[in-house]
Amino acid sequence: MVNDIFTFLVGGKAGEGVKKAGSVAAHIFASIGQRVFQMDDYMSLIRGGHNFSIVSTSTRWISSYYMKADLLVNFDKRSCETHINDLADGGLIIYNSDELEDVDGVGIPFSSEAEKYPMKNLMYGVGAVAILASAIGFKKEQMNESIKNQYPRGIEDNVKFANTIYDMVKGGCQGKFLLTKGEKVRPIITGNESISLGAIAGGLDTYFGYPMTPASSILHFLAKQTENFGLAVVHAESELAVINMAIGSTFTGARSMVGTSGGGFALMTEGISLAGITEAPILIVLSQRPGPATGVPTYTEQADLSFALSAGHGDFLRIVASPGTIEDSYYLTAEMLDLVWKFQTPGILLTEKHLSECSMTIDIDVDKAKWAKPKMYQGENYKRYHNAEDGISPMLFPPSKEVIKWNSYEHDEFGVTTENAEMIAKMHDKRNKKLKALVEYLKSQYTVNIIRGEMNTNLFAYGSTYMSVLEALRYGGLNPTIVQPIFLSPLPTWELAEFKNQDNIVIEQSSTGQFTTLLKEKARLKIRTTIKKYDGRPFDPIELSKKIKEVLQ
Amino acid sequence: MEDLKTYAEVTWCPGCGNFGIFTAIRNAIPLLEQRGIKRENIVMTAGIGCHAKMFDYLNLSGIYSLHGREITTASGFKISNPNLKVITFSGDGSGLGEGLAHTLFAAKRNMDITMILHNNGVYALTTGQFSPLTQEGWKGPSTPKGSFEIPFNPISLLIEVGATFVARCYAGEVKHLTNTLVKAIEHEGFSFIEILQPAMPYHKWEEFKDNIEYIDNNGKSKDEVLKIARQAHRFTIGIFYQEIREVYHKSLYGSFNPVKNSMSREKRLEKINLILKP
């Protein structure tokens, strides 16, 4: 085992319950009070191919999976060949003896055993859970309990199959990786679930989406929660419809959010610009995947940062922030919802596939979420775009005796179209005042996460890369200062000023170093070097710690 | 402003068909009020084009939307607060060009909004290019040799995809237009009115006036109506089709109202805690 961490990897074809087996493993670890980090690696297909799920667990907080697995369960030849080098020292390979022989590990005839059951494809995952149960020293009763809870369809067959595999794997596997009981049983959620719950806590009323990996699971989660929380969740015809419906929704006073990835976000930019001039409080979740264009749909990258910072034509205030952990996603989504309503402008919650779709055990203080509430207008003769001191015009929603006009054309204070030179400039100034007000407000907020270290070098990372960096440093026993800007627009330069001329290193998942450029240009930071990864895969803590060590010399 | 006009300077060309539509909608709203619809519940969106100037002139709440997106903005109103009566002003370019997909989907969903399609058969505001409803042979700046695409038939198209109230009116018949507007806005479901109107630099009133005729018989089934709609002269006006079908927001959440019944913070947090119970 790597330090005090146990890693379980299960791999096979899509449709064999790989992801589910990973998720059941995560729940088993969590049920004994361990901390968990789970990552699913899957291809953009429905059946076949090669998928794997990898779960690392420890009694301490863990913020990444490890690619070196202690227990490696492969349902087919391809998986075994793919992962043969992913075995940790002292680890154990379980392979499908119907497809392979002469592997240094324990062979299980998965195919011929599964063949005996009507739901044969789904039995593989159950088998993986049985192997895990044996390896971590679960008694049969304990295993059967987990199987019954996690695989409610066809319980009898599942339990029977699990017991067969459990008996088969005994020699060489049973009790090989006994785990310590942790101090507390915690829930496991994905980043997208955390974002969704944060939005609900912040006051979400309506959500609009068009399916696009890796943001789709927000749409799915919220659609399921419609009745529970009294939401309207709509799957519209395109991202163009999505963003414009959401803007229409905010006009009625509904707190609305949309979610998408690169290409869908590109379509939304027209509407983001509309939100800029109409001053619509709209929150957009942008979950990045490798681009350009369709790119690599089910993998991760951080290459939409510069696009997000300037999304939409024209001058207007965009708030962009990125959560560093799954837990922070909850608070930050609620905070962003609050901010877009406070400042009546579009906000982008920037994240990645890695955060969106990974699962973690979490400790969330639910009550700490912010609550979005606009500044409301009292009285008569309402003017939607009243030129207030801070640029923030109080709001009113229909039905109202007052006439409320939001306008995509440049407009006067009432909201009627204008081409008057003086008015055009005045309205630009009015909207620009909101940036000043926002910066003043953010100065009192937690905008940059700084973990002070004892070395002379500072590591900069944003988004889910922060989790990878933390784990790499822990693995490598390194303690430089870590700086994780949560807000990227406006970039909290007031917090970053102290690092200007220090030794700074950036770690990011962009081939051109977009985050590095941002720090150089906006915060005037000297950056010695950037550690990049842009193959669609997240950083592995062991590899990353080596790279960090190299540059720390 | 009792006559429903704002202070905005009206910039339609003198004699424009839009004046007739402007008059009709200002006549229709008091009639709707008499029939129990409160004015403050009526909200509107508009696309971009000559039709959309209506937004500046009409003293009602709403969003001056983007070109083609007026239907989606309007859908956003209705989904979030179903108590609102939602009218979207659209044009042949906006609603059937840039926003065609949105129009078809709003009809498919039976979104409870009224779409008023100002059909002047041309992109007037951008200097006279052919539109999705322009007849073949139009010599505009983008088709100097004459356009060679066939126009849509908006009436049969909208009936086909699921609109539950489909009518054609004429900007020169204000009384008929007013009455049809009242019926369309009162209709629960997606109501669509195509309004024939001249754009002064490009057409003459006579081209319309001389050809206008009322539908004489209504089909009983959707198939019959479609047949009539396909065969009818493009100047045929009247209500072509009306049916009752469950509206989108009711299928989505029944009698709920996301804005009015928005859950309290305490209740939400309580439920989130339940979800997060390990």
Nearest Cα of chain A lies from the Cα of B145 at a distance, in angstroms, of 33
Q: Is the pLDDT of residue B175 over 60?
A: yes
Please give the pLDDT value at position B3.
87
In chain B, residues with a C-beta closer than 8 Å to the C-beta of A278 are 63
Question: What CATH topology corresponds to A190-368?
Answer: Rossmann fold (3.40.50)
Q: Which of A331, A403, A404, A414 to mutate to test the interface with B (most CBs of B within 10 A)?
A: A403
Domains of chain B listed by start with CATH number: 18-252 (3.40.50.970)
**Helix-then-strand count for chain A, H and E:** 19, 21
Chain A neighbours among B 49-88 (CB < 8 Å)?
53, 55-56, 59-66, 69, 72-77, 79-81, 83-84
Domain boundary assignment for chain A = 6-169, 190-368, 375-445, 448-552
Please give the pLDDT value at position A2.
59
Mean pLDDT for B147-155 is 97
Please give the pLDDT value at position A171.
83
Q: What is the mean pLDDT of chain B?
A: 96
Find, among A258, A222, A223, A254, the residue nearest to A240 by Cα.
A258
Residues 6+ apart with CB under 8 A from A384: A393, A396, A404, A405, A406, A413, A414, A415
pTM (two decimals):
0.97
Do residues B188 and B244 make contact, with C-beta atoms less than 8 angstroms apart? yes
Mean pLDDT for B73-90 is 98
Cross-chain residue pair A229–B59, CB shorter than 8 Å: no
CATH fold match for the domains A6-169 and A448-552: no
Cross-chain residue pair A403–B60, CB shorter than 8 Å: yes
Candidates B63, B74, B268; nearest CB to A229: B268
CA A140/CA B28 separation, integer angstroms = 75
Bridge-partner residues for B193, per DSSP? B116, B167
Q: Establish if B277 touches chain A: CB-CB under 8 angstroms.
A: yes
CA A84/CA A388 separation, integer angstroms = 65
Q: What is the pLDDT of residues A368-393, one digit of tens each?
A: 999 999 999 999 999 999 999 999 99
A6-169: CATH number = 3.40.920.10
Please give the pLDDT value at position A172.
82
Mean pLDDT for B41-57 is 98
Name the pLDDT band for B1 (thresholds 50, 70, 90): very low
Output phi, psi for B200, to 5 deg: -55, -40
Cross-chain residue pair A367–B43, CB shorter than 8 Å: no
Cross-chain residue pair B105–A237, CB shorter than 8 Å: yes
A-to-B residue pairs, Cβ atoms closer than 8 angstroms: 190
DSSP-H helix ranges across A417-535: 421-442, 465-476, 493-496, 514-523
Output phi, psi for A27, to 5 deg: -70, -35
* Residues lower than pLDDT 50 in chain A: none
Please give the pLDDT value at position A1.
57
Question: What CATH topology corresponds to A448-552?
Answer: Rossmann fold (3.40.50)
Q: Is the pLDDT of residue B2 over 80?
A: no
Q: How many CB atoms lie within 10 A of CB A393?
A: 22
Bridge-partner residues for A481, per DSSP? A458
Cross-chain residue pair B272–A189, CB shorter than 8 Å: no
Do residues A40 and A11 make contact, with C-beta atoms less than 8 angstroms apart? no
**Percent of chain B residues past pLDDT 70, beyond the cut:** 99
Do residues A233 and A199 make contact, with C-beta atoms less than 8 angstroms apart? no
Do residues A51 and A19 make contact, with C-beta atoms less than 8 angstroms apart? yes
Do residues A198 and A369 make contact, with C-beta atoms less than 8 angstroms apart? yes
Minimum Cα–Cα distance from B81: chain A residue: A252
Cross-chain residue pair A201–B272, CB shorter than 8 Å: yes
Cross-chain residue pair A208–B276, CB shorter than 8 Å: no
Q: Is the pLDDT of residue B151 over 80?
A: yes
Bridge-partner residues for A58, per DSSP? A35
Q: What is the pLDDT of residues B217-273, one digit of tens each?
A: 778 899 999 999 999 999 999 999 999 999 999 999 999 999 999 999 999 999 999
